[in-house]
Amino acid sequence: MEFFLISLLNGISYGLLLFMMAAGLTLIFSMMGVLNFAHASFYMLGAYFAYSVVATLQGVPGLSRAAFWIALFIAPVLVGLLGALVQRYGLRRVHRWGHVHELLVTFGLSFVILELVQLAWGKVAVPYRVPPELDGTLFTLFTTQFPIYRGFMMAVSVAMLGGLWLLLNRTRIGLVIQAALTHPDAVQALGHNVPRVFMLVFGGGCLLAGLAGVIGGNAFVTDPSMAMAVGPIIFVVTVVGGMGSLAGAFIASLVIGIIQVMATGVNASLATFAGWVGWTVTPETPLYPVLSIGIAQIAPILPYLLLVLVLIFRPRGLMGTRET
């Protein structure tokens, strides 16, 4: 029971972090139809910008204790501004050539950002750590301590989901954004600058990725490989949830997070299940190497297996509105 409950909580916290990363990508695709291959790179920039802000403010009297909270605001804004500039001076110029060219621009941009990060901060991990006020135990379940920072990650992600829902469904800006998605010409005729709306949406999606980087960079590790580590899983979440569906991305994030965390703690294999039904598996048994593979060993590929199944049986994803 302890293993199940702690794994469930860890899976939910990891899934909510995935949602923070996938929400911006989902928002950009639902609005512009652009699969931003550089999205994970903006996540990485959020972590590095936050590290730099914290490192700079550590030596300023009176601001050292508030360094992380200042970085929590400044770093995502910087990433969002950078994303808006990419859309304004990059994606907008190639838009007339179609989505393939936009995709290739973001694909190339991901490598440019990677090289710039390595030039600026080096190729090894930087010491971006959890702030002292969040470095402790939130509660103890049986004999396992649940960290305060994981609870903080979960709270920020849920607050972000609520904020996005309110923005898109209860504000004038949200109405303009949704109208520009389906009737851009009508929105333009009403006096709204649709290209500017696109720029703000792309910048806002990148801002969300930067926020996830600030939160996730010190929870895990901040190094140049972090974008490559999370990039594929973000696309899995987006496709499984349904292209353009924030609610679908939220559900898919939780499902994938729980599956991965649960699976990593299970050492059972097909040979184990065979033993339960009375079939003894030995090294001489045919296909023994396959039968002896533990669930924990295949945990990293389970999200991609789920992706394949979803694409076969429900191509639109769980709650998608676009064909994947």
Return the pLDDT at 139.
84
The candidate with the shortest Cα–Cα distance to 88, out of 112, 113, 105, is: 105
Structure-token match 């998608």, residue found: 320
* Percent of the chain's residues with pLDDT above 70: 96
Return the pLDDT at 324.
45
Q: Which residue has the higher pLDDT, 120 or 170?
A: 120
pLDDT at position 97 over 90: no
Return the pLDDT at 46.
95
Return the pLDDT at 297.
82
Contacts of 184 (CB under 8 A, 6+ apart): 194
Return the pLDDT at 137.
86
Return the pLDDT at 24.
86
Measured CA to CA, the distance from residue 315 to residue 308 in angstroms comes to 9
Most distant pair of Cα atoms in the chain: their distance: 75
Report the chain's terminal Cα–Cα distance, integer Å.
38
Mean pLDDT of 138-143: 82
Mean pLDDT of 293-310: 87
Would you list the DSSP string of 161-211?
A: HHHHHHHHHHSHHHHHHHHHHH-HHHHHHTT--HHHHHHHHHHHHHHHHHH
Q: How confident is the model at residue 181 (pLDDT cuts 50, 70, 90)?
A: low
Interval 37-89: pLDDT, tens: 899 999 999 999 999 999 999 878 778 788 999 999 999 999 999 999 999 99
Measured CA to CA, the distance from residue 249 to residue 254 in angstroms comes to 9
pLDDT at position 322 over 60: no
pLDDT at position 269 over 80: no
Return the pLDDT at 321.
59
Mean pLDDT of 125-152: 88
Interval 8-23: pLDDT, tens: 898 999 999 999 888 8
How deeply is 130 buried, as exposed, middle or buried, from its count of CB atoms within 10 A (0-12, 13-18, 19+)?
Answer: middle
Mean pLDDT of 170-192: 76
User: Considering the entire predicted model, what is its pTM?
Assistant: 0.89
Lowest mean pLDDT among 121-130, 135-144, 253-262: 135-144
